[in-house]
Chain A
Amino acid sequence: MEKREGQHTQIKTVMSSKDEILTRIRQTVRTRYDMPEIKPDFMAYGDKTARFIEVSESVGGRVVIAGKGEDINDIIRSLYPAAKTIASNIPEITAATFNPDETETPYALDGTDLAVVRGETGVAENGAVWIAQNVKEKALYFIAEYLVILLDAEKIVHNMHEAYRQIQLNDYGFGLFISGPSKTADIEQALVTGAHGAKGVTVILTSTV
């Protein structure tokens, strides 16, 4: 019996910070509040694509609709005629000058003029595109001077509630919403694009139909 008590005190003295924090919370919380019922069945935009384009442009992005039978590579070349190093791991993107997945380290991606990647879900309310990491090094999304995201026009949802019901992470364990180019207003609130990431982002809407 005595021995047991002794053991108990010993455990107490070596209580980890984790246990200390959790114990303190358990001791201090007086009222436990219920989770509110969340029913996000809001605003069906009449035209999701139109709203997506409008908001994307308002945040400094650009949206191009690929016409039926139009070659995406032609669109890319005409949008970025000066791009010399174009990275893409999408087989159909023949405009690419290299496959970023074949580089050894993320550092080798420095100097990429343009990256072409695929987006999964577009969000009409804020012009964001969800990408679950689909290149070997996520650095590509940020280090390329310009970014092109291919998005199936059918994959545009109304809002973030809808988006979060759909999105998933894969084995890379990283994913993000991108809405327009990298930007800052840290100097006198003057908006400047191209803070650290892409100086420009173009979403090319494709149609599978």
Chain B
Amino acid sequence: MSTQHAQEAARFIANKKQEQWHNETLWQVRRKRDRLAMDIPEWEVLREWASGIKMHTLSHLDRYLERFAANAEANGVKVHWAKDGEEHNEIVYGILKERGVKKLVKSKSMLTEECHLNPFLIRKGIDVVESDLGERILQFMDEPPSHIVMPAIHLKREEIGELFEEKLHTEKGNSDPAYLTHAARQHLRNEFLTADAAMTGANFGVADTGDIVVCTNEGNADMGTSFAPLHIVSMGMEKLVPDYQALGVFTRLLARSATGQPVTAYTSHYRKPRKGCEMHLVIVDNGRSRAMEMGDHIRTLKCIRCGACMNTCPVYRRSGGYAYTYFIPGPIGINLGMLRSAETYAGNLSACSLCCSCNNVCPVKIDLADRIYAWRQSLDPIGKADKIKKGISKGMKYLFSHPSLYRTSLKLAPLLRYMPRFLLYNNLNSWGKGRELPVFAKESFTSMWKKGKVNTHKSKRS
């Protein structure tokens, strides 16, 4: 009984060349992140602070939200509150409808993805244009992002070249990234200049000032909000930081962790609407307050969506974003999916080897692997535990608590070498898929020790 993740991953790795490219490319991003992090002697101090600031803010979120909303309103921003995705979408549509908006240009927002905003608005007749290059490519293909920072990381340039031939009438056979990027620049510039409204997400909300901070490399959020007379910000309520001092910690960590850059090309602070224009802010709960009840899992809400945990994850790198059933993949996606619905997304828990690499790169020190381990312990009561593995575990427990039986089976273990393959590598043993059993030694360590065959002298330090 393998999980859906395991089945989808099998499909991904069937293309060995693609798997290797994906694995190596993301590992390069991880290495860039390492170089930039090591360049900052106080890196670990920053991570500790970031974690502390987030835990403080989350555990005082009621006060900070009130302060933030009051400041934003004083700045002339219209603040809306949405309990869930549905209410969020209705609010956004209401604003657009009232102003007769036909075309909405969007910059990347995982929250609107979470709320399924685009299909909702498109059904209502709004022309929704994603403006981040990767997002635009995927919108053309009608596919979701496979990574939260590098949404089109699973695609090859040739595929994008062919797509642009059809959609943007680029030269046939030209798949040069610079050529394609500049073709998209021309195309999207026209969209920016003709949009009736712009929508952005928020990387940070500053409670003290009411600022919305948006970080991009492309400048697409800035282009959108500079022309259309209406700016709507969609913000998950966990995005708050208390003040500028705290913001300084996060702006140092975010881009270094995400892409191995010292900072994003643009770090924009939106405090007031443009002169004669409107700015709306939708603060979204959608399960976040419920997640705060789930004990230590509240730590998952510290996430600043940098994607570092994906880039380092050996399972993500070798299975791709689409192997996960939740729309955010990788270690953080496994956890966020479980917060959303343990019943629905429990399968993703198998996509972790507990190597804990994610714990070590997370800029806000979420103990992602420990969270996954904890979620696994809670699978049985909801009927999501793997029955075969459960059986094996029971057997192991029996074996390990009966020393004589354990010793006998150790003696017999080398016999596995002589067992026919079909008995070892079959559907009952999912650990035997894609793996070879280690060769068992002819004699066990215990037996060697008893016979004095183990030389302890050499290992002693003088």
Interface residues of A (CB under 8 A from B): 16-18, 20-22, 24-26, 28-29, 31-36, 38, 40, 42-43, 55, 58-59, 106-107, 110, 123, 125-128, 137-139, 141-143, 159-161, 163-165, 167, 169, 171-190, 192, 194-198
Contacts and interface: CB of A to CB of B under 8 A. Distances in A.
B387 interface: no
A198 B185 CA distance: 11
Contacts of B217: 182-185, 195
A187 B177 contact: yes
Contacts of B192: 196
Contacts of B264: 179
A173 B48 CA distance: 31
Contacts of A188: 25, 155-157, 177
Contact of B219 (A31, A43, A195): A195
A177 B266 contact: yes
A190 B155 CA distance: 12
A32 B59 contact: yes
Nearest to B269: A175
A195 B266 contact: no
B280 to A, nearest CB: 14
Given A18-B81, A172-B272, A192-B178, 11 more contacts: A36-B48, A36-B53, A43-B42, A174-B271, A178-B265, A179-B263, A184-B217, A186-B133, A189-B153, A190-B178, A194-B185
Nearest to B220: A196
Contacts of A43: 40-42
Contact of B248 (A21, A164, A194): A164
Contacts of B174: none
6 contacts: A17-B285, A22-B62, A26-B62, A164-B248, A172-B274, A176-B267
A196 B131 contact: yes
A119 to B, nearest CB: 13
Interface string B15-56: 000000000010011000000000011100000110011011
Nearest to A25: B62
Contacts of B55: 33
B107 to A, nearest CB: 10
B245 A17 contact: no
A79 to B, nearest CB: 20
Contacts, number: 245
B414 to A, nearest CB: 47
B231 to A, nearest CB: 10
A128 B193 CA distance: 27
A174 B56 contact: no
Contacts of A26: 62
B352 interface: no
B144 interface: no
B218 A196 contact: yes
A164 B188 CA distance: 33
Contacts of A198: 219
Contact of B262 (A21, A31, A59, A187): A59
Nearest to A36: B52
B223 A142 contact: yes
Nearest to A171: B272
Minimum-distance CB pairs A-B, first 9:
A173-B272, A197-B219, A36-B52, A126-B262, A139-B226, A186-B134, A195-B218, A173-B271, A190-B177
Contact of A186 (B60, B151, B182): B151
A43 B42 CA distance: 8
B181 A17 contact: no
A26 B29 CA distance: 40
A32 B59 CA distance: 5
A177 B265 CA distance: 8
